[in-house]
Structure 1
Amino acid sequence: MPEDELLATHLQELRRGTVVLACLLILQQPNYGYALLDLLEKYGFTVDANTLYPLLRRLEKQGLLTSDWNTDESRPRKFYRTSADGTALAQTLSHDWDELDAAFRSLKGES
């Protein structure tokens, strides 16, 4: 496997779970898919729409997100929001992330 392909594979594995947490955190304020793509990009999470929309449906099916259609504008949009269960999971994952970050910093000799 070429080196750049190997790097891309490992980066994808590393980032996969972070997108879930990022979505749960961002969607504590209701938003729709396309705007969420922009916000994720703004915060440094590069996600393809073909990845995001199935993820949103999966999180909704798991009860971690809720959704409502907004038909007030000319183009209906499905707005997602983190549910109470999603908020609880985001808090747990964030705590675990902080512990992992501290462990990696320790491994690298940082305080």
Structure 2
Amino acid sequence: MEADLEDRDAAPHLQQLRRGTVVLACLLVLDEPRYGYALLRTLGDAGLDVEANTLYPLLRRLETQGLLESDWNTEESRPRKFYRITPRGVRVRDVLEAERLRLHATLSALPRPPRHTED
């Protein structure tokens, strides 16, 4: 019961943390053009599970912001929209990645109380 309460308390904060992480993850892997489903698989294979109904609006938003560009590939039997990072997206990615590394180092250096374990 206590674990359920902790999960509920943490859920909105985890959601916020994951949102920013998914943005950075997309910018990191889209140096090579990928279509949405392939991107979902790439992120999932790396351990970052993202729902399609989260990813596709995010890709459209990043494209609107000028961080990604897309092209339709109609050469195969099934048309697919391929996304890739723009030069502006590379600059944003580099800033976000530097900040992620800085935050990781900062958080790793903070003192932590001992973890409580359930008996």
Q: Report the TM-score range of the alignment, normalised by the length of the smaller protein.
A: over 0.9
Aligned CA distance change for structure 1 residues 46 and 83 (closer, same or farther; 3 Å) = same
Q: How does 1:1-111 map to 2 (within 5 A)?
A: 2-108=5-111
Distance in 1, matches of 2:8 and 2:75, equals 45
Structure 1 distance, partners of 2:81, 2:111, is 43
Unaligned runs of 5+ in 2: 113-119
Moved over 4 A (4+): none
Larger Rg over CA atoms: 2
Name the Cα RMSD after superposition.
1.4
CA–CA distance in structure 1, aligned partners of residues 55 and 15 of structure 2:
14
CA-CA distance at 1:6 after TM superposition: 2.1
Provide TM-score, normalisation by structure 2. 0.86
Structure 2 counterpart of 1:33, which letter?
G
Task: Give, in whole Å, the separation in 1 of the partners of 2:111 and 2:70.
Answer: 42
Higher RCO (Cα < 8 Å, 6 or more apart) = 1
